[in-house]
Amino acid sequence: MSSATGYFVPGTSWLHRRNPFTKLLGLALVLLAAFLLPPVVLPVLAVAAVVAAWTAGLLRPLVRAMRIPAVLLFSILVINAVFFPGATEKLVSLGPLSISREGLTFGLISAGRVLVAFLASVTFLFTTLADDLLESLIARGASYRISFVVLNAVQLIPRMQARAGAILEAQQARALAVEGSFGRRLRALVPLIGPVILGSLIDVRERTFALEARGFAARPSRTAYRVVADPPIDRWLRWLIVAGSVAVVVVTLTGIVR
């Protein structure tokens, strides 16, 4: 992973070949369905995201990425199961604490929604090059500023990870102990945080100067050096995705499915 490509994993799968705007709309549809439709759709959405990643050859990277939200999902489940307000039906008592049915149900639903959002978002990042996403948004009339904000958001974590890795290697070369016990690793974070934050601020300033020098806010129309493929099938897919999103909103507002 590099700061330029972000989390993008090169490939030629059917998902890699889709237009970035199509995949962005698909991601929006999955998020709408996960948070608006009844919880019964969550297993279907999770399986669909995993199958999509598997058919794109990204199952192993997706499984490795699961270590990122694992603690969050576990904490959502445990905290809601034990401390859910107004719970009346207790399943298991653990001294002064107890696991309630209402809290466990709410925790499973909340964790399921976060899991679906994570799976869909990571699959999107794995198959979408940030530069192509930027050009695709601008080609459809999106604001340059908004598109650049999206690009920066996609590349933010990879840039910080690359910078932290370089600083850590430099500190190791200067005999800073960064391996060993948990306490030693924790102490090694202290001299790492300052340079990472300072480097991020310097990077923002340099990017600002570079954008101004290249006439980022200029009004005349521009030409793009990158041409993002947009096959006819993508146009049909976008119409289907938009129709699906409208259907999700209508079903939610009318309460047809509960």
Would you call 91 helix, strand, or coil by DSSP? strand
Global pTM?
0.77
pLDDT digits 0-9 by tens, 206-215: 766 666 666 6
% of the chain beyond a pLDDT of 90 = 32
d(CA 17, CA 39): 31
| pLDDT score recorded for residue 175 | 63
Inform me whether the pLDDT recorded for 196 exceeds 60: yes
Buried b (16+ CB within 10 A) or exposed e, 99-131: bbebbbbbbbebbbbbbbbbbbbbbbbbbbbbb
For range 193-221, the mean pLDDT: 67
If you average pLDDT over every residue of the chain, what do you get?
80
For range 215-235, the mean pLDDT: 73
What does residue 102 show for φ and ψ, rounded to 5 degrees?
-65, -45
* 228 pLDDT tier (thresholds 50, 70, 90): confident
d(CA 121, CA 250): 24
